[in-house]
Amino acid sequence: MNAREAKTLARQWVSESAARTPGFVGAYLAGSAKTLADDAELPPGADIDVMVVIEGSAAPEKLGKFLFGNALLEASNVAFDRLTNAETLLGDHQLAHAFLTPCVIADPTGRLTALQQAVAKDFAKRRFVEARCRGACDKIRWYLGRLEERPPLHYQVMGWAFGTSITTLVLLIAGLRDPTVRKRYAAVRALLAEHERLDVYEELLGLFGCQAMSRERVELRLSELAKMFDATKTVAKTPVFFGSDISDAARPITFEGSRALIEQGLHREAFFWIVVTYSRCRAILANDAPQLIDGFDPAFRALLADLGIDSEDDRKRRGEAVLHYLPRLREIAEEIMAVTPGVEEDQAEEAR
């Protein structure tokens, strides 16, 4: 399926289904797939991110991933109050990037189109780029600060993994790149290669613990994950935020997507999503089939040992190492901003 066909199906789903949601304001596309040329084939495991905007300050839970026709869609809801102010949106490291290019696929009142045009105009102004970088750093602190709460193992590992990996997003934001999710390490590697700073990339992999990981080890963990994934999707009942990621529809994202990275020589870059998916499977089993956990925990614990985070003290220590790295990360982000074409000083800033 090419990108045009997938986007057409996304528009059709919005028209037939999402537009009936009470308080519907409109919808837009987000994620890396939206920027593909219309005739480009979707890469293995690609989905189309659809953001459904709902009037007010609160929005329903995300629908998650599902097949519509032959397209894998991931639908999320966002409260319009998060989008009403262009300047606030420009500083939002999670939402702003989608509005850099035309993204609106449903807009009965025209408000989203006007917002997209306002955001695109000022997106590259340095003060907003810096604000988005600060927001990503704050998210790192939020995730890693919660390790002290000692939640169940799977949530603690997820928090550590996301908190540590957002270091990649800080640099992607600084370089005006899409702060992507699953392929964040591959994306930041490409950015740092262009800047001849692969030394920094190795530091980021070192923080995650997969710097010396072999292809064979990654392939082993992926094959073990397949067994856990397939067992989990058959017993999942309790709704969780990420539940649709552990399903038949979403299976290609983890497995075909990871294998594609491995085949490109990017096995270390595939490991982040393997860790996240292991943790999500364990969280679902803890809710719906705790009797199965013991059978899969040896593989999960081996994965944690691969990363050097198999104890609570290890995870805390490694989280603190990431926090200590943040000043250097911000310096590197400033260096990237300084040489990235398009990043521009505000006239108000230049006048100071």
Give the tens place of pLDDT for each residue, 288-301: 999 999 999 999 99
**DSSP-assigned letter for residue 211:** T
Q: Is 306's pLDDT higher than 80?
A: yes
- Burial (CB < 10 A; 0-12, 13-18, 19+), residue 223, is exposed
Dist CA 115 CA 90 (whole Å) = 10
> What is the structure's pLDDT at 198?
98
How many C-beta atoms lie closer than 10 Å to residue 230's C-beta?
Answer: 13
Percent of the chain with pLDDT over 90: 88
Which pLDDT band holds residue 80 (cuts at 50, 70, 90)?
A: very high
**DSSP-assigned letter for residue 42:** P
Which pLDDT band holds residue 350 (cuts at 50, 70, 90)?
A: very low
Dist CA 53 CA 342 (whole Å) = 29
Q: Is 139's pLDDT higher than 70?
A: yes
* Tokens 């803890």 -> residue: 286
Of the candidates 290, 286, 307, the residue with the CA atom closest to the CA atom of residue 155? 286
Which pLDDT band holds residue 352 (cuts at 50, 70, 90)?
A: very low
- Going by their DSSP bridges, the two strands 71-79 and 48-54 should be labelled as parallel
Dist CA 308 CA 160 (whole Å) = 12
Q: Is 177's pLDDT higher than 70?
A: yes
Q: What is the mean pLDDT of residues 171-190?
A: 96
Q: Is 349's pLDDT higher than 60?
A: no
**DSSP-assigned letter for residue 246:** S
Give the tens place of pLDDT for each residue, 211-259: 999 999 999 999 999 999 999 999 999 999 999 999 999 999 999 999 9
Dist CA 187 CA 304 (whole Å) = 24
Q: What is the dihedral of CA 37, 41, 47, 52, to 10 degrees?
A: 30
Give the tens place of pLDDT for each residue, 87-111: 999 999 999 999 999 999 999 999 9
- Helix 153-174 with 184-194: angle, nearest 10 deg: 30
Of the candidates 84, 39, 76, 37, the residue with the CA atom closest to the CA atom of residue 59? 76
- Secondary-structure breakdown of the chain: helix, strand, coil percentages, each rounded to the nearest 5: 65, 10, 25
Of the candidates 73, 82, 75, 72, the residue with the CA atom closest to the CA atom of residue 21? 75
Dist CA 211 CA 258 (whole Å) = 17
> What is the structure's pLDDT at 150?
81
Q: State the sign of the Cα–Cα–Cα–Cα dihedral 266, 202, 143, 220.
A: positive
Residue spans per domain, the chain: 3-123, 127-330
Give the tens place of pLDDT for each residue, 146-155: 988 888 999 9
Q: What is the mean pLDDT of the chain?
A: 95
Domain 3-123 CATH class label: alpha beta
> What is the structure's pLDDT at 269?
98
**DSSP-assigned letter for residue 2:** B
> What is the structure's pLDDT at 347?
58
Phi, psi of 79 (to 5 degrees): -70, 135
User: Does an H or E element contain 294, and which?
Assistant: helix 293-307
CA distances from 191 to 101, 180, 326, 335 (A): 20, 13, 19, 13
Phi, psi of 105 (to 5 degrees): -120, -10
